[in-house]
Amino acid sequence: MIEAWIGLGANLGDRAATLDAALGRIDRLSDTHLCAVSRYYFTPPWGDTDQPEFLNAAARVRTALTVGELLRGLLGIERDLGRERSKRRWGPRVIDLDLLLYGDQCIEGPELTVPHPRLHERAFVLVPLLELAPDLVIPGRGRADALLGQLDDNERAGIRPGPEAGYLPPNDDAKKR
């Protein structure tokens, strides 16, 4: 089993219900166990700012899936929850699931780069990750808390705690942390 980290985000529809549904589906992926979920965070849109604010979170899983199998599983969950890919970069979305980390591996391929290539630039990803793992090290980048500290105040502005996740790992998975 390998530890992987997933970023979740939504800014259309019932954002909390969509994140809850995504977490439930992640937990049901074959050979994958949801271990921990951050609280949800309200965050301003990044890049294309003419859209509703996001609800973001992070999740830690243990999986026996290969990185490609896990990615395909996440893309299937997005599709099942109504995600439609558009040409609008950083545009609004019903759900966004990003494979942020896969163990301590650095992977570069045509379909996937891990660690996520812009993880270190995004407070809306680092804040929920640090909630779950205050000492987290991003392979090839360094400590997540130091990376967050390097971001300017504008990048961190507007991120505020939201509701607790509605879908939490079952107790037996939580004990395996």
At 152 the pLDDT is: 86
96 a catalytic residue: yes
Q: How far is CA 21 from CA 16, 80, 106, 127, in A?
A: 9, 10, 29, 22
Q: Which of 98, 141, 153, 160 is catalytic?
A: 98
At 2 the pLDDT is: 97
By three-state DSSP, how is residue 131 classified? helix
- pLDDT tens digit string along 136-146? 999 999 999 99
CATH of 2-174, picked from 3.30.70.560, 3.40.50.2300, 3.30.420.40, 3.40.50.11270, is 3.30.70.560
Instruction: Tell me if 5 sits within 8 A of 59, measured CB to CB.
Output: yes
98 a catalytic residue: yes
Instruction: Answer yes or no: is pLDDT of 161 > 90.
Output: yes
Domain boundaries, the chain: 2-174
Instruction: Tell me if 120 sits within 8 A of 147, measured CB to CB.
Output: yes
At 111 the pLDDT is: 85
Q: Which of 20, 25, 96, 122 is catalytic?
A: 96
Instruction: Answer yes or no: is pLDDT of 19 > 60.
Output: yes
93 a catalytic residue: yes
H-run or E-run covering 2: strand 2-10
Q: Which of 15, 25, 60, 83 is catalytic?
A: 83
At 90 the pLDDT is: 62
